[in-house]
Structure 1
């Protein structure tokens, strides 16, 4: 880690290099794909250091944010129909639908428990005869842990999977006519699992980056140079954590337990091969299969309160939180309407905490 004065010098130097690279150029738009990257960009006000013709927009990098209301309703439906212990992460527990959330159900006497990992849920299952359901969200970063828990599972432990494979979403984003993406800053956490090789088939310039301000600015320099030179590059700035092959053991256990399907993402619609249902051989741990009678009358609805919410547009990179009429008015971190205002990795939540205008 550089000393503070050296970091300031590095950041200033990279910002000046970017201004020189972009002088006289047409607008370049870079999309990053990680909530932690947006936290870095906004917390350190990096956009103020960039030339006006270099745009850095957030994409669908927050797993809480991209989980569609249909998945949330399905979990609520299970709580109402079956006498289960529902476990999930704390940020997911605050996402509202029609004024309800997991915390709402907890306040009404339903057995909802907040866990820090899937293994906490597994331990709860070992101490009770009641069914314990883990509402599983997240990308390849958290999927291996869920897979291990299934392989080590006990009879009353079940997974309601809302996991998504991330790479298909990048391909899907490139298919939108209203989304301009000249290059990607790839997600650092996901990349530690999938490795550099996972991005080789995506035909736009990409850089895998770490999370310090100088990491992000260096990644932008690398991308701008590649774009100016017409190079379809795939570069790894985050070499201290990401390897070409990724975490092979994690990939193996993940692919052992999870299948692939076409699933919806908030803001993106249905993304091919992105869904992660449990494979048939593990359906004894699949809450959708075990409690399928409870879901026979399940019908997803629209939350009319969210009609003005632009969370989906923010996730697709075509709007900022400031474009939403609800931002910091009806929708705040204490009283969120959209999922992007809930999670600490959500763009609206980050802008609410750090935005300087």
Structure 2
């Protein structure tokens, strides 16, 4: 029997929940679906949904964005990047461009792309120019980049890589001793590539119920029902509520390409700090395409808050699930989708952008993620 979203809601409402339950949804796509479908308002008041660290644009290091800006302005390159990255602000002097969008307005040749193939096409069409592909993303974005490298890219195409693995951020929250959530809804698109087994550590090492979900209300509600029932029965396991796409072992071809083209490295997450083994770097065989090695670093010491969020911005605490977006004092006033101050208001997967764009203003029942 196939259950509808209404069926899952009725099942959830029938559960004998003893008190408040905090469920973290890791994925920015999940947060968008939850907010647009109004699931927070439909769930019992004691079920709290907390947005987690699932937006690669939000955690891309400020110094990487600054490096891309300086390359575009001063290295004589064509710089291409996914569209969201063009509006991410950095902590630079007001007299200088503080986003790729502003650098483009100042004359730099910066072009938005929607796929690695577009970057390859631009490089082939402009053989006389070095082309730098500034790429930020999680595993699902990184896998096509790895495939692009293995298939072969033009000699004039270089990568400024700022890609991250998802699970180490969750592991960091759990290892902190105060994770701030009782159950986890894991990202279905990441599990599609990397396999659902990657999330087993949440259950096995931390005794926290976990379910993998897709992006429909039906899949999300099924995952929420699963983890809530696990909590009630005190029988914790990893549940796959996205079986039509997520298979045991994941996508073996994509994983093999990631291993061939890239290597795992420690990585900085904006506003959070270094998370061990949470980033991707080019494998030795592709280092000739490393923009950092080709063009060198640009001086960013003049920036007073390198690596931090802008003054007054609480994006880091939003990403870590410690506050809701509307609890940032800049939310909806100085910081809006039209005039973003922090990265969480830029991306379509940023919690602040999602909340503001869909009209969400206050957490349900006045609760917040800190308590």
Query: What CA distance in whole angstroms lies between the structure 2 residues aligned with 1:290 and 1:305?
Result: 28
**Matching residue of 1:172:** 172
Do residues 12 (structure 1) and 10 (structure 2) align? no
Classify 1:316/1:356 alpha carbon distance in 2 versus 1 (closer, same or farther; 3 Å).
closer
Give the TM-score of the pair, scaled to structure 2: 0.89
Classify 1:137/1:27 alpha carbon distance in 2 versus 1 (closer, same or farther; 3 Å).
same
Query: What CA distance in whole angstroms lies between the structure 2 residues aligned with 1:75 and 1:175?
Result: 33
How far has the Cα of 1:298 moved from its partner? 4.2
How far has the Cα of 1:182 moved from its partner? 1.4
Query: What CA distance in whole angstroms lies between the structure 2 residues aligned with 1:69 and 1:329?
Result: 23
- Choose the corresponding residue for 1:254, options 254, 258, 263: 258
**Matching residue of 1:108:** 106
Structure 1: any 5+ residue segments left out of the alignment?
none
Classify 1:305/1:228 alpha carbon distance in 2 versus 1 (closer, same or farther; 3 Å).
closer
Contact in 2 for aligned 1:178/1:318 (Cα 8 Å)? no
- Choose the corresponding residue for 1:29, options 16, 22, 35: 22
How far has the Cα of 1:269 moved from its partner? 2.0
**Matching residue of 1:336:** 340
**Matching residue of 2:295:** 291
Contact in 1 for aligned 2:309/2:315 (Cα 8 Å)? no
What do the CA deviations read for 1:181-220 (whole angstroms, capped 9, x no partner)?
2121111211110111222233322111111112111110
How far has the Cα of 1:143 moved from its partner? 0.9
Contact in 2 for aligned 1:93/1:102 (Cα 8 Å)? yes
Q: 5 Å matches for 1:268-287?
A: 268-287=272-291
Query: What CA distance in whole angstroms lies between the structure 2 residues aligned with 1:156 and 1:301?
Result: 34
Contact in 2 for aligned 1:22/1:51 (Cα 8 Å)? no
Contact in 2 for aligned 1:43/1:355 (Cα 8 Å)? no
Aligned-partner SS, 1:227: helix
Query: What CA distance in whole angstroms lies between the structure 2 residues aligned with 1:256 and 1:169?
Result: 24
Moved over 3 A (4+): 296-301
How far has the Cα of 1:280 moved from its partner? 1.9
How far has the Cα of 1:260 moved from its partner? 1.3
Structure 2: any 5+ residue segments left out of the alignment?
362-371
Do residues 125 (structure 1) and 129 (structure 2) align? no
Contact in 2 for aligned 1:168/1:271 (Cα 8 Å)? yes
Give the TM-score of the pair, scaled to structure 1: 0.92
Classify 1:288/1:330 alpha carbon distance in 2 versus 1 (closer, same or farther; 3 Å).
same
Aligned-partner SS, 1:180: coil
Contact in 2 for aligned 1:89/1:117 (Cα 8 Å)? yes
Contact in 1 for aligned 2:63/2:300 (Cα 8 Å)? no
Q: 71-80 vs 311-320, which deviates more?
A: 71-80
What do the CA deviations read for 1:25-53 (whole angstroms, capped 9, x no partner)?
12211101111111111111111111222
Classify 1:65/1:242 alpha carbon distance in 2 versus 1 (closer, same or farther; 3 Å).
same
Classify 1:305/1:229 alpha carbon distance in 2 versus 1 (closer, same or farther; 3 Å).
closer
What do the CA deviations read for 1:219-264 (whole angstroms, capped 9, x no partner)?
1000011122222311100011110111110111011111111111
RMSD: 1.8
Query: What CA distance in whole angstroms lies between the structure 1 residues aligned with 2:178 and 2:40?
Result: 22
How far has the Cα of 1:80 moved from its partner? 3.2
What do the CA deviations read for 1:298-343 (whole angstroms, capped 9, x no partner)?
4364179822111111100011111011111000110000111111
Do residues 147 (structure 1) and 151 (structure 2) align? no
Query: What CA distance in whole angstroms lies between the structure 1 residues aligned with 2:138 and 2:319?
Result: 15
Do residues 199 (structure 1) and 199 (structure 2) align? yes
**Matching residue of 2:87:** 94
How far has the Cα of 1:17 moved from its partner? 2.1
Do residues 77 (structure 1) and 102 (structure 2) align? no
Query: What CA distance in whole angstroms lies between the structure 1 residues aligned with 2:83 and 2:283?
Result: 27
